[in-house]
Structure 1
Amino acid sequence: MKSALYLCLLLFGLQGQGQQQEQQAHHSPEDQSQADVENLPHVKLAPSNADFAFKLYRQIRDESDDGNIFFSPLSISTAFSMLTLGARSNTLRELHKGLAFNLTQLEEQEIHEGFQRILQLLNDPHREVQLNMGNALFIDNHVELLQNFLDHVSNFYYAEAISTNFKNPPEALRKINDYVETKTHGKFVDLVKSLDPENVMVLINYIFFRGSWERPFKSFNTRDDDFFLDAENSVKVKMMHQNEDFNVHRDEKLSCWVVEIPYKGNVTSFFVLPDEGTMKQVEDALLKETVAKWLRSFENRNIYLGLPQFSVSGSYDVKSLFKKMGVTEVFSDQADLSGVAKNLLLKVSKAIHKATVDVRENGTEAAAVTVIEIVPVGLPFPPPPLINFNRPFLMMVIDKTTDAVLFLGKIVNPTARKD
């Protein structure tokens, strides 16, 4: 019996200090009815991607030992969706279920057309934020991909096919790491530490984001303050302050504040501050319906906002996470990836994701790489108190053009840089 060869898939992500951008916003002249818009593949795909993002967050939360969390759900879903082009039978069904694709509402073709449009919109050079996302296949010199798979990953995912000599691991490692370093603007250097010579393919997705706040924080308002890790412990942080109008919602049911802090361009961020002792309650309620409710409930109010500077990272074994979410076959000898290459039995040997974020006065910079080795009317709303993010909080970065959750995280300790 032929021994299974290995498909190595790796996933990574990061975010950092923002910079001012002076590009003009670009507006598409498309004039479509609401019904037409709702039937666009990327619009139909958005709910599935949101479901996947929050499902994966809870899985990571359950394994995180109450530490910082930061990852790019879009990077992971894009990488594994690309892989589904070569998956068959139960392997394909498990991947579709794990990625939260409901094939009664979304056809397979629409999934890939949706990601194709997301890539087009995210990479629009006229955007006011710097936002880049792409894919690559590093393929062993002796592997012949099926033309249908190659055509589809190129057409839908704009994947680069890069010939690689995996029999020379140091050379292959250098080629992959140079690619990742370039695409993430130096955020990941020597990311992949080792390669098994049995690898025949490495699939990579990267995403990079650099955005300036619509209203930057003034550096002279930043001062040392306490961030309370819990009831007994605190760390010193640089706390940024603003007294401005923000979209704010007080969710009394979940006992949390939600503040929207927009970037220049069509990208925004939600910062969620649970009351003391209610973090798990808020996390358990993280669903696309909850976020939609917050959006509908926002009121633009003048508040005094305190937000810490922070720089944190996260590293995750996606293979382990997916297996606990019921996606197992693609990692086993029973994997059916027969639609990828000619005359080869393939399985995923490794799937990792790494992300980092850096938030400062002028904005946010983020990047991700996925490498797979994937109310009733009543009295006026009372003015909110000082909303001070001086205890653990949640953060999400959302692209408003595609409704995609670019990054999702929990900041438990802003001073803990490493995961």
Structure 2
Amino acid sequence: MKTTFYMSLLLAGLHAVAHGQLLPSHHNGHDTNEHIHHAHEAVACLKLVPNNADFAFQFFKEITLEAPNKNIFFSPVSISTAFAMLALGARSTTQTQILEGLTFNLTEIQEKEIQEGFHNLIHMLSHPEGGVQLNMGNAIFLTEKLKPLKKFLDDAKALYQLEAFTTDFNNPMEAEKQINDYIERKTHGKIADLVKDMDPQTVMLLATFVFFKGSWEKPFKPEHTEEREFFVDPEMTVKVPMMHQTGRFDLYFDEELSCTVVRLHYNGSATAFLVLPAKGKMKQLEETLVKETVQEWSEHLFQSLVSLYFPKFSISGSYEITNTLSKMGIVDVFTDQADLSGITGTPDLKVSKVVHKAALDVDERGTEAAAGTAAEILTLSIHPTIEFNRPFLMLIFDRDTNSTLFIGKIVNPTISS
């Protein structure tokens, strides 16, 4: 019988706020060496980009099948980072399944390159440009009798900034408190009570977290927010606080997928794609969304003067994703066939549970945002209105690394979890 451990992946909130003065979205005053180092990191990251994007949209498809007509919010980069780190301690078929489940073709890219790529990705995402706060981290909680190999800990610390803690799982309440307090502190209070009802048989828990806080490049004014109707489905309508601004936005109408795409930038290097399918077309979009679709949208965006309505909302998603990952080919690591001997030197360890928790806040926060900014003078002409008043997708990308930070499907913005 294998010893099992819980693997908790979590993402703590995206907080889209608008406050303070607008910051330039490029580096200032960095020396040449830093730029060269940044360029090297970017090259290593870029090798991962197509695979990480494929994984993101495959995972999205699986989750939407499991939770149809529900709000969805998760961080693909958080999940793939945690499993790439787990692959450090995996051997034989277990390791191959993990890396191939993350959509890597091992005849085209070596494990060493994958690990280096994730290392650089974490470093770049943890040092974003001004205006965006993005913290990523990994922690391992171990029972005292489980002695991980020095090589695994050294490699995981060097590559994934791993922090390691000794935990008494025989006292589940105390263990839960230690882990939850750590996570809550690291995620600025956004994720509380990640683990509960812990199995006293647990010997190791792996947690990965991402915390993101961004301010809109073009903030919404709170005084323009008003209650409006949101059409959840043909039978259900709810009232939501709807933010509003008129201005020039990046737009694209995808006739093939019957959806409207609006791109909003945050200060710094993060970008949001807001995707509004025509009535009855969400399912088609979910089934066909791939990285090439997003690439096509990016290439065809055009600037247009529009009146934009977008809801102010908070949602969170909590998922037990063992089953989802098994469907994507990551199977052995959850069974007695698991070979995680690279972690402890013995093959008696398997992953029992994978939890992923994510939270999303979107608001217009900060009345002082308008203080130092020039007002945009708009001629009074008839311009189109785009109102996100029915289920939509929200995709958040990091421009520096082309990473899919978050994918959200907002079906009902009044339901927070």
Cα offset, 1:266, TM superposition? 0.8
Residue of structure 1 in register with 2:348 after alignment: 345
1:240 and 2:239 equivalent? no
Give the distance between the partners of 1:139 and 1:37, measured in 2 at CA: 34
1:124 and 2:127 equivalent? yes
Per mean C-alpha deviation after superposition, the further-off stretch among 82-91 and 146-155 is: 146-155
Deviations 1:167-192 (A, max 9, x none): 22222211111110001101122221
Give the 5 Å matches for 1:213-228.
213-228=216-231
Give the 5 Å matches for 1:167-206.
167-206=170-209
SS in 1 for 2:4: strand
Asked whether the equivalents of residues 6 and 353 of structure 2 are also in contact (C-alpha less than 8 Å), the reply is yes
Give the 5 Å matches for 1:79-158.
79-124=82-127, 127-158=130-161
1:26 and 2:27 equivalent? yes
The code of the aligned residue for 2:385 comes to L
Asked whether the equivalents of residues 37 and 43 of structure 1 are also in contact (C-alpha less than 8 Å), the reply is no
Residue of structure 1 in register with 2:372 after alignment: none
TM-score (norm 2): 0.90
The code of the aligned residue for 2:388 comes to F
Give the distance between the partners of 1:91 and 1:343, measured in 2 at CA: 14
Cα offset, 1:129, TM superposition? 0.8
The code of the aligned residue for 1:54 comes to F
Cα offset, 1:19, TM superposition? 5.4
Deviations 1:275-326 (A, max 9, x none): 1111112122211111111111111111111101111111111101112222
The code of the aligned residue for 2:2 comes to A
SS in 2 for 1:414: coil
Give the distance between the partners of 2:2 and 2:116, measured in 1 at CA: 31
Give the distance between the partners of 2:49 and 2:71, measured in 1 at CA: 26
Q: Please, what is the CA RMSD of the aligned residues?
A: 2.0
The code of the aligned residue for 1:15 comes to L
Give the distance between the partners of 1:243 and 1:271, measured in 2 at CA: 16
Cα offset, 1:128, TM superposition? 2.2
SS in 1 for 2:56: helix
Cα offset, 1:38, TM superposition? 10
Asked whether the equivalents of residues 16 and 359 of structure 1 are also in contact (C-alpha less than 8 Å), the reply is yes
Structure 2 unmatched ranges of 5 or more: 367-381
The code of the aligned residue for 1:121 comes to M
In structure 2, relative to structure 1, the CA distance for the partners of 1:350 and 1:31 (3 Å cut) is closer
Per mean C-alpha deviation after superposition, the further-off stretch among 345-354 and 227-236 is: 227-236
SS in 2 for 1:199: coil
In structure 2, relative to structure 1, the CA distance for the partners of 1:17 and 1:252 (3 Å cut) is closer
1:387 and 2:386 equivalent? yes
Asked whether the equivalents of residues 45 and 106 of structure 1 are also in contact (C-alpha less than 8 Å), the reply is no
The code of the aligned residue for 1:11 comes to L
Give the distance between the partners of 1:274 and 1:390, measured in 2 at CA: 11
Cα offset, 1:112, TM superposition? 1.0
Give the distance between the partners of 1:258 and 1:168, measured in 2 at CA: 50
The code of the aligned residue for 2:221 comes to K
Cα offset, 1:384, TM superposition? 7.0
Residue of structure 2 in register with 1:310 after alignment: 313
In structure 2, relative to structure 1, the CA distance for the partners of 1:126 and 1:213 (3 Å cut) is closer
Give the distance between the partners of 2:35 and 2:214, measured in 1 at CA: 28
Aligned partner (choices 336, 339, 342) of residue 336 of structure 1: 339
In structure 2, relative to structure 1, the CA distance for the partners of 1:384 and 1:350 (3 Å cut) is farther
Cα offset, 1:401, TM superposition? 1.0
Cα offset, 1:65, TM superposition? 2.8
Give the distance between the partners of 1:227 and 1:126, measured in 2 at CA: 35
Cα offset, 1:147, TM superposition? 2.1
The code of the aligned residue for 1:230 comes to D
The code of the aligned residue for 1:388 comes to E
In structure 2, relative to structure 1, the CA distance for the partners of 1:403 and 1:17 (3 Å cut) is closer
Cα offset, 1:247, TM superposition? 0.9
1:319 and 2:318 equivalent? no
Give the distance between the partners of 1:93 and 1:72, measured in 2 at CA: 23
Cα offset, 1:41, TM superposition? 1.7
Q: What is the percent sequence identity of the aligned residues?
A: 48
Cα offset, 1:59, TM superposition? 0.2
Asked whether the equivalents of residues 142 and 167 of structure 2 are also in contact (C-alpha less than 8 Å), the reply is yes
Residue of structure 2 in register with 1:360 after alignment: 363
Aligned partner (choices 211, 214, 236) of residue 214 of structure 2: 211
Asked whether the equivalents of residues 41 and 124 of structure 2 are also in contact (C-alpha less than 8 Å), the reply is no
Number of residue pairs matched by the alignment: 394
Cα offset, 1:127, TM superposition? 3.1
Residue of structure 1 in register with 2:374 after alignment: none
